[in-house]
Structure 1
Amino acid sequence: MTSGPTSGWARRAGVAGAALGALALAAAVWEGYKLVGDPDGTDLFGVPLLPRADDAAMPHLADVVAGLGDVDIAAGQPVWRVVVDACLFTLGVTGVGFAAGTLVGLILAVAMQRLRIVERGLLPYVVLSQTVPLVALAPVIAGWGGRLSIGTYPWQPWMSVAVIAAYLAFFPVAVGMLRGLQSPPAAGVELMRSYAAGWWRTLWKLRAPAALPYLFPALRLAGAAAVVGAVVGEISTGTRGGIGRLILEYSRQATSAPAKVYAAILGAAALGLVVAATVTLLEVGLTRHQRRVAVTG
């Protein structure tokens, strides 16, 4: 039977087609609302219900694309180049935060699976940690970072942003990996014990492979959360060079050049897609062997 790889490629092609269709639908809704919407917005009993449809609030998508070729006077470069450079900066910070958050989440998941008392005592606080408002946490982390150093190397502002990204990324990894590690049936665990396999070997041979279907969706969520954390962290801490700071700077020019704001926002959205695609490629590479075994069987 050889339909496994073919069906896998067909599924990924279907996902890609659905994503493109969603983008086309979003563009159609945007332009359609701009065509029929009220330039002053729509209120219901004095409550704003729909946004303004004028050019200052909702520029045409063609104007946003055309604005990418305009020159950013402050940087002396085209807007698209400024957006790409800012995205690359934020991508690097996001990668550091994502890696750190993933490592912390995996360690916590393994510890909670190993000891039930750790799970009972730690898991509520892991969940509670995500209720802290990020805009309140970011200045605190930035303030702490200003008093730290790594040996003789002073703490850099981007490190605070990476910590914020890691703070948001560790939670889905910890919860998803814990669920995956606990997913093997009792019969499988008893079989490993009958072979005199210790906890570490059971973890590596049974629990970790069983956790992969739970881990990668969690990693995709963690990647998206890390991007959000990096962007919000850059805005909250005033870290220069990233797409978050660029959104803030371009928002000050929204009256005269509204397309610039949406160009930066599209850059941030594209950054999230790049992180999600990277995790998907990692999933394909690591699960290929399991798919081959399943097809052979």
Structure 2
Amino acid sequence: MVERGLLPYLVVSQTVPLIALAPLIVSWGGKVNILGFTWPKWLSAAVLGAFLAFFPIAVGTLRGLASAPSASLELMSSYAASWKQTLFKLRFPAAIPFMVPAFKLGASGAVVGVVVAEISTGLKGGIGRLIIEYAREATGDPAKVFTAVFGAAALGLAMAGFVAISDVLLMRNRPKETTT
């Protein structure tokens, strides 16, 4: 039920071109001044990275929360379990196999979002900025551009690998599922 209500909004959020959204976030962020906090430029890139990572994580989590077996849900209901108990003792553990691949996609997507944000906002010091600077010099040495591109790809793979290692470390004591 929640999935059917939220999924259309999640899909619509992903139809907005990221390169068009980046200048808006920089502009709106520049106007933020709450209790002396000023919006640093890197925060705009972080917001865009989080925006791009949010969709696969949200979809994977929603699918996972809906994946609990109906017999188990009936059992929790017969025990008069509250929705909170059902969420944390049944639905969330059932969602983990759906969430880990979603986090891998989200981690890689966050790298893409930050690189695109760096390119479109002119943020200095990042891989996106290196791609722009090296692209100007590409006629002399195209290997520099490929170095930055492969650096971004390596960072995306490293983030996905970090999620995979975290999964192994956190789930090592979980009992293995048996198939009949």
3-state DSSP of counterpart to 1:284: helix
The alpha-carbon deviation at position 150 of structure 1 amounts to 4.5
Task: Name the SS for the 1:239 alignment partner.
Answer: coil
1:295 to partner: Cα distance? 7.6
Q: Does 1:144 align with 2:21?
A: no
2:163 to 276, 279, 282: 279
**1:230 equivalenced with 2:114 (yes/no):** yes
Secondary structure class of the residue paired with 2:130: helix
* Structure 2 residue aligned with 1:263: 147
Mapped to 2, the partners of 1:279 and 1:215 lie a distance apart of: 11
Whole-Å separation in 1 of the counterparts to 2:100 and 2:177: 21
Structure 1 unaligned residues grouped into runs of 5+:
1-115
User: What root-mean-square deviation, in Å, do the aligned CA atoms of Structure 1 and Structure 2 show?
Assistant: 1.5
* TM-score, structure 2 normalization: 0.93
Change (3 A) 1:158 1:167: same
Aligned amino acid, residue 149 of structure 1: N
Conservation of the 8 A alpha-carbon contact between 2:3 and 2:62: no
2:101 matches 1:196? no
Q: What is the CA-CA distance between 1:146 and the residue it aligns to?
A: 1.1
Matches within 5 A, 1:174-193: 174-193=58-77
Q: What secondary structure does 1:240 align onto?
A: coil
Larger radius of gyration: 1
How many Å apart are 1:123 and its aligned residue?
2.2
1:294 is aligned with what amino acid?
Answer: K
Identical columns (%): 60
Map of 2:42 onto structure 1 = 158
Query: Is 2:107 the counterpart of 1:219?
Result: no
Using the alignment, how far apart are the partners of 1:186 and 1:246 within structure 2?
52
The 2-side partners of 1:150 and 1:210 are apart by: 40
Q: How many angstroms does 1:289 deviate by?
A: 1.6
- Between Structure 1 and Structure 2, how many residues are aligned? 178
Alpha-carbon deviation of 1:149?
2.9
- The one of 52, 65, 68 equivalent to 1:168 is 52
Partner of 1:239: 123
- How high is the TM-score relative to the length of structure 1? 0.58
Q: Structure 2: 5+ residue runs without aligned partners?
A: none
Alpha-carbon distance between aligned partners in 1 of 2:29 and 2:102, rounded to the nearest angstrom: 28
Between the aligned partners of 1:263 and 1:248, the Cα distance in structure 2 is 12
Q: Tell me the secondary structure at the aligned position of residue 289 of structure 1.
A: coil
CA shift in 2, pair 1:237/1:198, >3 Å: same
Are positions 1:294 and 2:150 aligned together?
no
Displacement, 1:121? 3.9
